[in-house]
Structure 1
Amino acid sequence: MAGFNLNNLVQGALGNYSEKTPEELTREYGAYLFNEEKISSGYQMIRDALLFTNIRIIFIDKQGATGKKTSFKSIFLDTIVNVEMETAGTGLDDSEITITFLENAYHKSNNERLKEQKFEFPKKTDIVPLYRTLGNISLANRSRINGQ
C-alpha cells in the first residue's frame, strides 16, 4: 500500500503526531488557509492533523467513518502567553509541549481566561525548535500585552 507507514500508525494510535513537510500539508489543507497565511510546520496523526502557520495553530479533526466531515479549530499565535516542554526519557515516554493561551479575544481585559493545550510527539521528534519558536512568540505577546 503506497504511503503506508507502520510506525506512523502505531504513533497515531498512541496519540502522537508524525511530522509532515509544509509542502505536503499545503497540498492537502492549503484551501483552508487565510490570506497571507503559510504553513511553517505540521504533523499528522492517522487522519487528523496539527498545523503551525505564521498566524495560528490549526487542529484538523476528520470525523466519522469516511472522514468527509472535518472540524478546523484554531489557537491564534498572538494569544500564546506561556510554553512548557518535557522531553522524552527512556522506554515509551513521549515528548510534550504545553502552551497556555488567552481564550478571550480581548487581551487587556480584567478577567482573562487562560486555557492550556498539550501536544504529544514521538520520542524521535526534535521538539526543541518548536519550543523555542513558541517561547519567543509568548515572550513577544507578554511584552505587547503588558505594554513593555
Structure 2
Amino acid sequence: MGLLQGLFGNYSEISKEDLESKYAHFLIEGEVINTGFKLVRDNLIFTNLRIIDFDKQGATGKKMRIHSIYLDTICEVTCETAGTGIDDSEITITYIKSPYKKAKEIILAVKQFEFPKKFDVLALYVQLETIAYKNVKQLNA
C-alpha cells in the first residue's frame, strides 16, 4: 500500500527510530525529531524547530534538495480531510519566507502536503494551527 500511496502523492508515516538513524546528522543543536513521513524516495520530518523536506532527485536519488520551514515562521494552516473514494487529506502551510518577520514587506510562501486517509491529519493540523496562532499573536503584539 505504501508504493500505491506514494504514486498518488501521499506521505506515509515512518518510525522515529528509522528517521533518526538516517537523518540525525542533518539536525541542528538542540533539535529533536518528533515524527516523519515517506513519499516513495522523499521524506518529510517534523522536529521541535522546523519541518524538513528531503527531495531526492535524479535516477539514483543521491542528489538531494533539503528545504526547511521554521516553525516560528508559520502564520497560517489549512486542512482538507479525506472524503470517500480515493480522496486524500491535505495540509497547506503558509509561512514567512523573508528573513525578517517585522519587515515593512513580508514575503510569504505556501507548501502543501498530502497524506493518506488512514493518517490522523487533524491531530497534525491542530499542532500546526497552535504554532501558527502563537506566531501571529507574537507578530501583532
TM-score scaled to structure 1, two decimals? 0.92
Using the TM superposition, give the Cα deviation of residue 103 of structure 1 relative to its aligned residue in structure 2, in angstroms.
Answer: 0.9
Using the TM superposition, give the Cα deviation of residue 114 of structure 1 relative to its aligned residue in structure 2, in angstroms.
Answer: 1.3
Structure 2 residues not aligned, in runs of 5+: none
CA distance in structure 1 between the partners assigned to 2:21 and 2:7 by the alignment: 24
Letter in 1 for 2:82: A
2:140 alignment counterpart: 146
**Structure 1 segments of 4+ aligned residues over 2 angstroms from their partners:** none
Deviations 1:62-105 (A, max 9, x none): 11111111111111100000111110000011001111111101
- 1:102 aligned to 2:96? yes
TM-score scaled to structure 2, two decimals? 0.97
CA distance in structure 2 between the partners assigned to 1:105 and 1:133 by the alignment: 24
Percent identity over the alignment?
A: 50
| CA RMSD, 1 decimal | 0.8
2:87 alignment counterpart: 93
Using the TM superposition, give the Cα deviation of residue 24 of structure 1 relative to its aligned residue in structure 2, in angstroms.
Answer: 1.2
1:3 alignment counterpart: none
CA distance in structure 2 between the partners assigned to 1:100 and 1:72 by the alignment: 18
Using the TM superposition, give the Cα deviation of residue 130 of structure 1 relative to its aligned residue in structure 2, in angstroms.
Answer: 0.7
